[in-house]
Chains A and B, each alone.
Chain A
Amino acid sequence: MKTPTALVLELIEAIGEDAVVWHDEDLLVYEYDGTIDRGNPDVIALPADTDDVSALIRIANKHGASVTPRGAGTGLSGGALAAKGGVIIGMNRMRRILSVDAENKTALVQPGVVNLDLGLEAERHGLAYAPDPSSQRACTIGGNIAENAGGPHTLAWGTTTNHVLAVELVTADGEVQWIGHDTRDEPGYDLVGCVVGSEGTVGIVTQALVRLVPRPSAVRTMLAVYDSVRDASNAVSAVVASGIVPAALEMIDKMTIAAVEPVLNTGFPLDAEAVLLVEVDGPESQVEAEGARVESILRRFEPREVRSATDHEEREHLWAGRKGAIGALGQIMPNYYLLDGVVPRTKLPDVLDAVYEIAERYRLPVANMFHAGDGNLHPCLLFDEREPGATARVLDAGGEIMRVCVDAGGAITGEHGVGLEKRDYLPWIFSEADMDAMKSLRAAFGPTENFNPCKIFPAGHGCGEAGHQHHAQQQIAKFGPKAFV
């Protein structure tokens, strides 16, 4: 029988037996998030309030144990994994929506609130919470803040950073402070802007004041079916260039359709090469006129079909096909490696061609479903990790794809975060000096040694084989370290 360590005992004393997970069999299920990395924590602590969080961090610091915050564990870059063991602080029990101020269009929430639950609560007040990552049924606001999460509807409304006004933050030293202001009028540095997207490396958000936006009175969702990916991506570029800002502009390719359609019956034709999902919203008259214009642009690129969802249910159905796409890939292969490159929108057709070429060269099936309007690609390389050498091949192909994005003037991640997974690729877009400046920012928030270690920046000592350091370094050797910077 395993006996609890001194660290575990102290954590139990602080927040209770119910809130501390430390048995080996229980820890096993905290080794993963939504993607392929693994990390094994020594203990999970589940705080009920801000004071708990502060106490937990101080205890971990005292014992020299590293601290890793975790929300729902749906992340796609290894951000919630305990790369150096230590304590995972799981925020999922702090999941209350504390208040909604409909007139000032704000909501005060705890970090464990599930994105969709906030959306539904906002809807009851005639409002919406704009960022809607595909995992919104499960992912938490705290995690969204850490990763600066996007989603299909951030094309018009912006990502999480545009929607968080203030947060209560517990920094790596255990100090608690409110930063930001109801209307962004707090004098001083934009600390909230620094925290959002910092991937949980500068502190743990324990409350957040977020912006809600008015709900459009009308919505039109269109499905356009194409026989070539080029046509579809040219249509995307044309819509963007037309000056219309659709609420969402998404592309789904053949492989994805093959995974999604049999289980979700979304009505995407199985033999189409690509479908586009385009949504316009706003006042009735705007939706009508913009919808017609978008439709005529889509038709210029020889679609097989363009149709509009006629009711709410059909619309939800189409979106279920998009948002369930990644999970549905399990139908084709047991593992996937999901990339998150982002490129200038006009480069999309060329970059997509390159993605297919690379996948073919590595003999890997690739599924693409992504935020075309933002230039944010999600190539998903499918494989079976039980096949010898498959994982290495996938990582190499992934590196090449990221390289293509960087060479096209883009970046390695648009919304999933660098995390463990892409940290060794960061030097492709940032110089030592750039990264040093980032590290100075981190240092301003407290001791960095043990707080969410091994994330974002190229691996330091003790980060071991977590992540894919070895492969990344091979890639970097192949392409040179600083092509873009």
Chain B
Amino acid sequence: MSASDAASPGQPPPFEGLDTISEPVRLARYAVDDSLPTSAVLATGISDVERAMADASAAGLAVIPHGGRTMQCLGMPPQRYDTALDLSRLNRVVDYEPEDFTITVQAGMTLSTLQQQLAINGQLLPLDHPHFEQATLGGLAAVGRGGLRRNSFGGPRDWLIGMRMVQADGTAIKAGGKVVKNVSGYDLAKLFSGSLGTLGIIVELTFKLRPQPASDQIIAIGAPTLDDAQRAARAAANAAPFLNGCIALSADAAAEARALGARLLQDEPTIVLRANGLESAATEVLSHALSAIREVGVDRPERRTSEIVETWQAIADLELQTPNEHVRLRLGLPPAKLVQAQVLLDGHLNNPAQWIIAADSGLLFVSTPRVDADTIARLRRELGPLRGRLTIESAPPELKSSVDIWGPAGAGARLMHNIKAQFDPQTALNPGRFVDGI
């Protein structure tokens, strides 16, 4: 069914009775790359989402779900874009059982609100995400990306135990449940997590939780060069496998992080280590890591900080920091290959800046003022043997017109297209923004 059919007389217009926006001025905030929708729906309950999707499906409208929009930069420009589905008002706690260490929340709740609620009971969700005060849990799950502590805590997929979604045709479904271990039926929560809103709208999520550690410690050590910092961080990660974070920052990244509130020493290449657990244990882990760092010849004094959340969040925010329309790259690869990968990127990129290297997790973020399609292609080729995967997380639309920000989808592409066809046969959801044109 096409949009013109839906507009035919006798049919009610789509989204009737829902809270909608159609003034261009107010729609500007829903811009994705250079595209603007013709309408936006502000959902306040799951039934709104069901209605909105049913209507959109009947009218053949293309829908892009919105949460906190911290990562709307991620993805190819939409092929079609009619309606923004704003989920940020779906922000209630549905069910919280502190003693079971599980919580069910609506998709529009922000990560920081969730953490505040959990903190009351001495609990937390150990996931990192840039701009956690805006980032919604639905968005976080839809992006599905592991953060700076991925080595210890994995990504959203590893903490999600249940999910409610609204399918492209408006049917509400659920997956998983409220128990921490569950193999009843297929794990659709894993399928939806990281699907960038292309299969359905995530409306409710159930997470398992962790207790807040008795002690959470961060120390920072300066290093003469980024290379030194990186080698030292790798050595620390090897020597202290129970670290909960092990990052090397370039001098400009350290400076920017400080500007954002991180308590680091100076604007110099810096190693940031994090460990938690019982106080003695965290101290023990850090001292193992420190001696490994000293052993590779980095001997500047360390600084301990008590501003754990501020410091860590400032670094996480940097992942998406794009000064002057920079292009921000994310690279994931086996941690032992980080040093080689960094050299490779350094050689190919034009004025690379703001390096963040999670040495234990095999993650690297770097930005560059300009990059062309050929360079990206060459990098991807040369990263192949290192088993590296390069994603452009943020770039101006003109670059996206010549480069696939995701890179080749690999052998799974066939299955991914099949899945998309099953779940969203009309390609109404986020059309063209995901991998391999999905």
Contact = CB atoms under 8 A, between A and B. Distances in A.
B278 A150 contact: no
Contacts of A240: 99, 101
Contacts of A54: none
Contacts of A220: none
B362 A178 contact: no
Given A186-B412, A198-B186, A376 B181 contact: yes
A11 B316 CA distance: 55
A441 B186 contact: yes
B387 A444 contact: no
Interface in B305-363: 331-337, 361-363
A103 interface: yes
Interface in A271-326: 282-286, 289-290
Contact of A101 (B175, B334, B422): B334
A443 interface: yes
Given A162-B154, A188-B435, A445-B418, A375 B180 contact: yes
Contact of A345 (B99, B280, B362): B99
B409 A187 contact: yes
Interface string B143-178: 010100010001101100000000100011111011
Given A159-B181, A237-B99, A344-B97, A175 B284 contact: no
Contacts of A282: 242, 277, 281
Contacts, number: 258
A443 B417 CA distance: 12
A98 interface: no
B191 A345 contact: no
Nearest to B101: A240
A214 interface: yes
Interface residues of B, number: 85
B400 to A, nearest CB: 14
A125 to B, nearest CB: 12
A433 B171 contact: yes
Given A181-B332, A194-B190, A413 B182 contact: yes
Contact of B190 (A177, A190, A286, A290): A190
Given A104-B362, A175-B414, A371 B181 contact: yes
Interface stretch (A112-120, A359-367, A383-391, A404-412): A404-412
Interface residues of A, number: 89
Contacts of A199: 183
A113 to B, nearest CB: 21
Interface of A: 101, 103-106, 147-148, 150, 154, 158-159, 161-162, 171, 175, 177-191, 193-194, 196-199, 214, 216, 237, 240-245, 282-286, 289-290, 342-346, 371, 374-376, 409-418, 422, 426, 429-431, 433-438, 440-445, 456
16 contacts: A104-B334, A104-B336, A162-B154, A162-B158, A177-B412, A177-B414, A179-B412, A183-B333, A243-B212, A284-B284, A285-B280, A286-B280, A412-B184, A414-B179, A443-B422, A445-B415
Interface of B: 97-102, 122-123, 144, 146, 150, 154-155, 157-158, 167, 171-175, 177-188, 190-191, 193-195, 199, 210-212, 238, 241-242, 277-278, 280-281, 283-285, 331-337, 361-363, 387-389, 391, 406-407, 409-416, 418-419, 421-423, 434-436, 438
